[in-house]
């Protein structure tokens, strides 16, 4: 045998081996699967209003008769806070006074916020009767820190009675004064 024929046979043998190697990858089997999940986030929201059905707005003007207040007079109103979000979430509230002009009527007022109370009395002597006091602002002070958190399930609501009064010892300089009282409600999760 010549050296040339050995070389040709070697090259042909190499071609056969390469051919088998390429064919073997075509014979593999595969399987595949996919797992997916749709994810969305919850909403945390509060509404306030006069009743559970109307407590859907982010703001509400309490119908407290604050005109012609005088020493010894009091007035009260109910505000309903409702969880309008998609999950149960605790809430708290903070009282706020915005004085008008140079007088400090807001500081002179006594303010109570109660749960489970009912309105009683009439005219210039309306009060929150019964219930549990959640926040008190005394004469001569500003509102303190926020209330303790209160649980509120999805769609649930809580009625709060807000009472303010001007003590008999109110200064004469408060005649004709005005102020704005507000409760700021906050609900949060994940902190």
Residues 124-150: tens digit of each pLDDT: 899 999 999 999 999 999 888 899 999
Domain 46-187 belongs to what topology? Answer: Immunoglobulin-like (2.60.40)
Domain ranges in the chain? 1-30, 46-187
Exposed, middle or buried by CB within 10 Å (0-12, 13-18, 19+), for 47? buried
pLDDT computed for residue 72 by the predictor:
93
Token reading at 96: 């706020």
* Alpha helices (runs of H) in the chain, residue ranges in sequence order: 3-26, 105-108
Asked whether the predicted pLDDT for residue 83 surpasses 90, the reply is: yes
Q: How far is CA 25 from CA 12, 13, 17, 28, 134, in A?
A: 21, 19, 13, 6, 76
Q: What is the pLDDT of residues 148-184, one digit of tens each?
A: 999 999 999 999 999 999 999 999 999 989 888 899 9
Q: How far is CA 109 from CA 67, 95, 176, in A?
A: 14, 13, 14
- pTM of the prediction? 0.78
Residue 161: what are its φ and ψ, rounded to 5°?
Answer: -100, 125
Residue 181 near residue 109 (C-beta atoms within 8 A)? yes
DSSP structure class, residue 16? H
């Amino acid at each position: 045998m010549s050296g040339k024929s050995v070389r040709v046979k070697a090259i042909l043998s190499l071609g056969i081996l390469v051919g088998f190697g390429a064919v073997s990858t075509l014979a593999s089997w595969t399987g595949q699967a996919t797992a997916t999940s749709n994810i969305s986030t919850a909403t945390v929201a509060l509404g306030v209003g006069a009743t559970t059905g109307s407590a859907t707005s982010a703001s509400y003007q309490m119908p407290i008769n604050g005109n012609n207040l005088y020493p010894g007079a009091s007035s009260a109103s109910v505000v309903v806070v409702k969880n309008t979000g998609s999950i149960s979430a605790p809430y708290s509230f903070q009282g706020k006074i915005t004085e008008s002009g140079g007088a400090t009527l807001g500081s002179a007022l006594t303010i109570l916020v109660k749960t489970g109370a009912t309105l009683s009395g009439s005219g210039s002597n309306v009060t929150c009767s019964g219930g549990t006091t959640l926040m008190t602002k005394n004469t001569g002070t500003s509102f303190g820190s926020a209330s303790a958190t209160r649980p509120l399930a999805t769609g649930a609501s809580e009625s709060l009675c807000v009472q303010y009064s001007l003590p008999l010892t109110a200064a004469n300089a408060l005649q004709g004064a005005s102020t704005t009282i507000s409760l700021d409600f906050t609900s949060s999760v994940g902190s």
